[in-house]
Structure 1
Amino acid sequence: MQDKRNIQIIEWEHLDKKKFYVFGICMTMMIRVSVYPFTLIRTRLQVQKGKSLYNGTFDAFVKILRTEGASGLYRGFLVNTFTLISGQCYVTTYELTRKYVACYSNSNTVKSLVAGGSASLVAQSITVPIDIVSQHLMMQRKGETMGRFRIQNSDCKRALVFGQTKEVIVQIFKADGLRGFYRGYVASLLTYIPNSAVWWPFYHFYAEQLSRLTPKDCPHLLLQAISGPLAAATASTLTNPMDVIRARVQVEGKNSIILTFKQLMAEEGPWGLTKGLSARIISATPSTIVIVVGYETLKKLSLRPEFMDSRHW
């Protein structure tokens, strides 16, 4: 009988926190740069009515590149980088919650489910206002807009970067007050808490199943690199309908999740709930590989010296 292996999990208390946070910020920034264009494409696809502008992910990529240039794929990117803060809060909450839940359950699935959901709750409370601003910037096309607010163009690059952000913030505040920066907060929670809560258990599940099917000398990191995208595709497929509704609530200024859902179903039918799914999976797959490999490597690099000899990779 083949010897069964377990994917080794490095616990939070075994890490050098300073190294972990520094490496983590650098890694997250590299990921954001690589996948941001698909985040923008996903948002535009989810907001557009039918196929009024783009016929799909590839069509949107080509059209944006042709009409707006490479910079068009990075609209709102600088604002979006502030979510790096929420990313670190997410990881910290996830690891601390796993540690707390471990006192009551040894099940890796239970620990991952509770920790993933809790981490997403904390992160979204920080991320939503940043997402609101960056999404409205994403909607600005050359000479027009897909969203509620239209920003005046400027020839000054400094004004183009910082002036547009300021203008969006002012328009959101004038239209909705402070509440406008948390529009769609409940929809975000209903999207990302299940997404996070589902991703972690599936990630560990796929890793454990692959470890049983592969030879004993197969590197753990390779199994984790395969498990991450599988989990991301699963979670994205399950939560994409709510993600479409979230995007519309936030960009179009709607107040009701239920009415937004009914309108979407009336106008576009069930297929409307799949909008942006391919772009979401495309952006999630490579980024998840980097996140998983980077995150596991990051934990290894941050491991305190006294625990080095106890690990077998």
Structure 2
Amino acid sequence: MAPWTRLVPTTHCDSEESESLTASAFKSVRTALDVPERELKRWRRIFDANAKVVNGEKFLDTESFVNAIAPKGDLSKIGRAQFAILFRVADTSRRGLVSWEDFTVFETLLKRPDADYWMAFQYFDVDNSGFITYDEFKNVFTANVGPDAIPFDFDCDWVKLYLGKKNGAHVLGYNEFTQLMKGLQGERLRQAFKYLDADQDGFIRPEQFKRIILDIAGHKLSEGVIERLPTLCTLSPGQRISYSEVIAFHNVIRQMDMVERIIREATAKTKDGRIDQSDFLNHSASSSRYSLFTPMEASIIFHFAGRGIGSQRLSLIDFAQLLDPRWRAPHHEPEVQHVASSASFVQSILSSSYSFVQGGIAGAFGATIVYPIDMGKMQNQRSTVVGQLLYKNSIDCAQKIFRNEGFLGFYRGLGPQLVGVAPEKAIKLTVNDIIRGRAMDPETGRIKLGWELFAGGMAGGCQVIFTNPLEIVKIRLQIQGEAAKVEGAVPKGAVHIIRQLGILGLYRGASACLLRDIPFSAIYFPAYMHLKKDVFNEGYNGKQLSFLETLGSAAMAGMPAAYLTTPADVVKTRLQVEARKGQTHYKGLQDAFFKIYKEEGFKALFKGGPARVLRSSPQFGFTLLGYETLKTFFPYPWQDKPRQVETALTSRPDELTRIRARNALKILLDVHGDFGRRAGSSGVPLSLSSPRLSSQQSNK
């Protein structure tokens, strides 16, 4: 009797009733398999989405079964078609179809923490005895590897050590089987080397080494590495490959996840984003209790990553062909290169224009949120004003603005701000991105600190052409609102202020504006990038920052940048504001610095500093958050993306059951790269009914 017949009530129903599982059936299955109802409903959705109707009932054939269980966008070399191997495990009735009941049992098995080995055990346990006999192991193994494979001696001492005697027959329990499968590749490697080493001198030819590796690990290697397998002979004199080198290469493959972790961590810590063999071994020793890799294994890693030059310093992208089984060599056709170079100029202009628009939108977003804070900076209020002070402090300023002008008073001057903030932020963000892109190492993504400061400084300097007129009009609109209430004057509009100042007047205080914006951006952008990378670990093992992490990085970077440039902002404000009767007049930048310091003291240069931090920090936080969000969700459509090392280690976690299905396949493919493709000709039935699924089943 099939295992599900004891778990699910079998009923005959018409096609309409078969569209969904009845409540009682759901309850029976959930109780028998101890599966949450939500999980069972999810399985049902997957089954219904892929099933085909046969004689009024839904079933999965091989193709639809693969669609239901194969990981989406799997970053391994295992093809989706190879998941059909597991179809023979799920199809316990041997009718070429998997029913809903079959599927629930299969998915329940995948929930086991040892599902990968459990599936492999059931593949070999063809008589459902709960043990694997010597004959079963040999027959299933032989049927799946084919006659062209390197012979395997089943009567060797290694097999005998695992397959003990019971009543005169060789048997293997489940736990013993897992250890046997884990060590099987090593024994196959030893036997294969001994078989091909005809003269027993401890060496084989390069093509023989390639044959061995393709048999047991071809699915783990990229085509680039497979093509260069014979070059392993160049590591030592004689143009042949020793057993030590074969074992070392196999150890590298088995520990590939750890190899990748060490490479990613080591390259992230070096200044140039590159490592050599010493860096690799040093980081390996510091990140583990025991030595994981020998010098020979490190040489092999760098040999294949460095294309034969193992002594050079390599970046993460150089290791891509070794770490990523799906890696393909880039094409370098002359025609393609010519077309690419001729179109690069146009593409750069279009990409910069696209970024310009995104920067403007993000800048307007950030400015609108924090604009009321800008009204309370009080930088233009002077201690030597003839008559009364307008504001005692920032809180008093906010109270009087609200009392005299209402809530809209906090947004006086916002119109010109939004008109100017788009080109201002767009230029700043775009120029910084362009210079960083030009100065960045294309292989490591690293940029030297000097270039980071230069990119930020140039971005701040280039924006002044738009910033200075904007600042003058904005400040004069801001201060005249409250002054008009006190003095009884009629506030003037932006057009009147522009006509009054003229073109040259709009750039009054430009030197102070440069003195503020260049160091501000030179501090801000490098701080922002390093906070994302060094504090929040952006890009580490593929990590993408969350909403709060991006906002936090941008906001924290704005704090030192805003406060340290406050003196320049104070001087700029004084130069741009029209002095009233009784107020000190300033001839220029140097004169303003000296007079402010002499008349009001050193603290006056940092007047409004905290308010400036409170404004600039969140403003740039929201601006950069908006810019990063726009780039993420609306990237430039034709942008050439840099090559990334994408592996299962850094990919977005897939559903655990799908991962276990993939791992079960890897265990079987470790037996032979063609495992499962020849199983159809073996004529050996497979079963799912033993070992028992649960203690409940064993009691029934």
**TMscore range, shorter length:** 0.7 to 0.9
1:183 aligned residue: 508
Indicate the SS of the match to 1:140.
helix
Cα pair distance change 1:269/1:291, threshold 3 Å: same
Between stretches 86-95 and 99-108, larger displacement belongs to 99-108
SS in 2 for 1:266: helix
Provide closer, same or farther for how the CA distance between residues 23 and 218 of structure 1 changes in structure 2, counting only shifts above 3 A: same
Matched residue, 1:169 = 498
Paired residue secondary structure (1:81): helix
- Aligned residue for 2:417? 80
Contact kept, 8 Å, 2:374 with 2:615, in 1: the verdict is yes
Between the aligned partners of 1:259 and 1:116, the Cα distance in structure 2 is 28
Partner of 2:589: 257
Give 1:308 shift.
9.9
Is 1:192–2:192 an aligned residue pair? no
Cα distance in 1 between the residues matched to 2:447 and 2:413: 40
Show the 5 A alignment for 1:232-251.
232-251=558-577
What is the one-letter code of the residue matched to 2:364?
A: M
The match for 2:463 among 123, 137, 140 is 123
**What is the alpha-carbon distance in structure 1 between the residues aligned to residue 483 and residue 588 of structure 2?**
30
Superposed displacement of residue 17, structure 1: 5.8
Counterpart among 527, 531, 538 of residue 202 in structure 1: 527
Residues of 2 paired with 1:140 and 1:191: CA distance? 24
CA distance in 2, matches of 1:141, 1:293: 32
**Contact between 1:20 and 1:298, CA under 8 Å: does it hold in 2?**
no
CA separation in 2, counterparts of 1:146 and 1:219?
A: 53
The 5-angstrom pairing of residues 77-116 of structure 1 reads: 77-83=414-420, 84-102=422-440, 106-116=446-456
1:270 aligns with 2:605: no
Residue identity matched to 2:614: I
Work out the CA distance in 1 between the residues paired with 2:458 and 2:486: 33
How many angstroms does 1:24 deviate by?
A: 3.8
Instruction: Tell me which moved more, 295-304 or 73-82.
Output: 295-304
* Greater relative CO, 1 or 2 (CA 8 Å, sep 6+): 1
Distance in 2 of aligned mates of 1:180 and 1:133: 11
2: CA distance, partners of 1:30 / 1:211? 24
Structure whose residues are more often helix by fraction: 1
CA distance in 1, matches of 2:404, 2:615: 22
Q: Residues 513 and 569 of structure 2 are in contact (CA less than 8 Å); yes or no, is this contact kept in structure 1?
A: yes
Query: Cα distance 1:248–1:102, how it changes in 2: closer, same or farther (>3 A)?
Result: same
Distance in 1, Cα, partners of 2:523 & 2:449: 10
CA distance in 1, matches of 2:509, 2:568: 11
Distance in 2 (CA, whole Å) between partners of 1:49 and 1:115 is: 36
Structure 1 counterpart of 2:375, from 29, 40, 43: 40
Determine helix, strand or coil for the equivalent of 1:144: helix
Q: Aligned-pair distance for 1:225?
A: 2.3
Label 1:143 to 1:16 Cα distance change in 2 as closer, same or farther (>3 A): closer
- Shift of residue 192 of structure 1? 0.6
Correspondence for 1:28: 363
The answer as to whether partners of 1:183 and 1:255 remain within 8 angstroms in 2 is no
Report how far residue 236 of structure 1 moved: 1.2
Shift of 1:48: 0.3
Q: Is the 8 A contact 2:562 2:612 kept in 1?
A: yes
1:63 is the counterpart of 2:394: no
Instruction: Tell me if 1:302 matches 2:655.
Output: no
The corresponding residue for 1:159 is none
CA distance in 2, matches of 1:209, 1:187: 33
Amino acid at match of 1:79: P
CA distance in structure 2 between the partners assigned to 1:217 and 1:226 by the alignment: 20
Query: Residue type of the partner of 2:554?
Result: G
**Could you tell me which amino acid in structure 2 is paired with residue 28 of structure 1?**
G
> Can you give the 5+ residue segments of structure 1 that lack an aligned partner in the other structure?
7-11, 154-162
Distance 1:239 1:142, change over 3 A: closer
How big is the shift at 1:33?
1.5
Unpaired runs of 5+ residues, structure 2, are: 1-260, 269-346, 580-584, 653-700
Output one character per residue of 1:247-275: Cα deviation in whole Å (capped at 9) or x when no partner: 11111473311221122112221111111
Give the Cα–Cα distance (whole angstroms) in 2 for the partners of residues 99 and 181 of structure 1. 33
Q: 1:212 to 1:166 in 2, by over 3 A?
A: closer
- Look up the equivalent residue of 1:41 and give its one-letter code: G
Aligned residues with identical type, % of pairs: 26
Q: Give the TM-score of the pair, scaled to structure 1.
A: 0.79
Offset of 1:90 from its aligned partner? 2.1
- Asked if the contact 1:57–1:278 (Cα under 8 Å) also holds between the matched residues in 2, the reply is no
Instruction: Kindly state the Cα deviation for residue 144 of structure 1 after the two structures are TM-superposed.
Output: 2.4
1:90 touches 1:119 (CA, 8 Å); kept in 2?
yes
TM-score, normalised with respect to structure 2: 0.37
Residue by residue over 1:140-179, the C-alpha shift from the partner in whole angstroms, topping out at 9 and shown as x without a partner, is 12462899xx9635xxxxxxxxx61222122223xxxx32
Q: Is the 8 A contact 2:559 2:617 kept in 1?
A: yes
- Select between 241-250 and 22-31 the one with higher mean Cα deviation: 22-31
Who is 1:157 aligned against?
Answer: none
Mapped contact 1:80–1:134 kept (Cα < 8 A): yes
Call closer, same or farther: CA 1:274–1:146 in 2, change over 3 Å.
farther
Change (3 A) 1:302 1:218: closer
SS at match of 2:453: helix
Larger radius of gyration: 2
Conserved? CA contact 2:557–2:617, under 8 Å: no
Contact 2:515 2:568 in 1 (8 A): yes
Aligned residues: 291
In 1, distance between residues paired with 2:451 and 2:427? 18
Conservation of the 8 A alpha-carbon contact between 1:210 and 1:223: no
Question: In the alignment, what sits opposite 2:26?
Answer: none
SS of 1:182 mapped into structure 2: coil
Q: C-alpha distance in 1, partners of 2:557/2:407?
A: 30
Cα displacement string for residues 41-86 of structure 1 (whole angstroms, at most 9, x for unaligned residues) = 22xx111013922233222212211122122212221112221122
Alignment root-mean-square deviation, CA: 3.6
